[in-house]
Structure 1
Amino acid sequence: MERYVGLDVSLKLTSICIVDRTGKIEREGVVTSDPEAIATFIKLHTSHVVRIGLETGATSTWLWTELNKIGLPVICIDARHAKAVLKMQINKSDRNDAAGIARIMQCGWYKEVCVKDLDSHATKALLVSRALLVKIKRDIENQIRGLPKNLGLVIGRAKINMFAVRAAQLAEDRPLHAVCLREDHERLL
Structure 2
Amino acid sequence: MTLYVGLDVSQKETEICVIDGDGRRTWRGKCSSEPECIAMVLREHAPDAVRVGMETGPLAIWLWHGLRALDVPIDCIHARHVAAALSLQVNKTDVNDAFGIAQVVRSGWYRPVAIKSLQSCRIRALLSARSELVAIRTTLYNQIRGLLKTFGVVLAAGKGGTFERAVLTRCPADPLIRSAIDALLEAWRVAGERRQRLDSQLLRLARSHEACQRMITIPGVGAITALTFTTAIDDPNRFSRSTDVGAFLGLTPRRYQSGEVDISGRISKSGDRMARSLLFEAPN
TM-score w.r.t. length of structure 2: 0.59
Native 8 Å contact 1:81 1:111 kept in 2: no
Deviates more, 1:78-87 or 1:63-72: 78-87
- Aligned position for 1:87: 87
The 1:180/1:81 distance shift into structure 2, 3 A limit, reads closer
Whole-angstrom distance in 1 between the partners of 2:162 and 2:96: 62
- Aligned position for 1:118: 118
Moved over 6 A (4+): none
Whole-angstrom distance in 1 between the partners of 2:161 and 2:15: 54
Percent identity for Structure 1 against Structure 2: 40
The 1:30/1:175 distance shift into structure 2, 3 A limit, reads same
- Aligned position for 2:225: none
Please state whether the residue corresponding to 1:175 is helix, strand or coil.
coil
| TM superposition shift of 1:83 | 2.0
The 1:25/1:134 distance shift into structure 2, 3 A limit, reads same
Higher normalized contact order (CA 8 Å, seq sep 6+, divided by chain length): 1
The 1:145/1:36 distance shift into structure 2, 3 A limit, reads same
Please state whether the residue corresponding to 2:19 is helix, strand or coil.
strand
- Aligned position for 2:278: none
1:21-170, aligned counterparts within 5 Å? 21-149=21-149, 151=151, 153-170=153-170
| TM superposition shift of 1:152 | 5.0
Structure 2, unmatched stretches of 5+, are: 190-284
Q: Which has the larger radius of gyration?
A: 1
Whole-angstrom distance in 2 between the partners of 1:90 and 1:152: 60
- Aligned position for 2:173: 175
Whole-angstrom distance in 1 between the partners of 2:30 and 2:44: 13
Report the count of equivalent residues. 187
Please state whether the residue corresponding to 2:8 is helix, strand or coil.
strand
Please state whether the residue corresponding to 1:16 is helix, strand or coil.
strand
Whole-angstrom distance in 2 between the partners of 1:26 and 1:188: 58
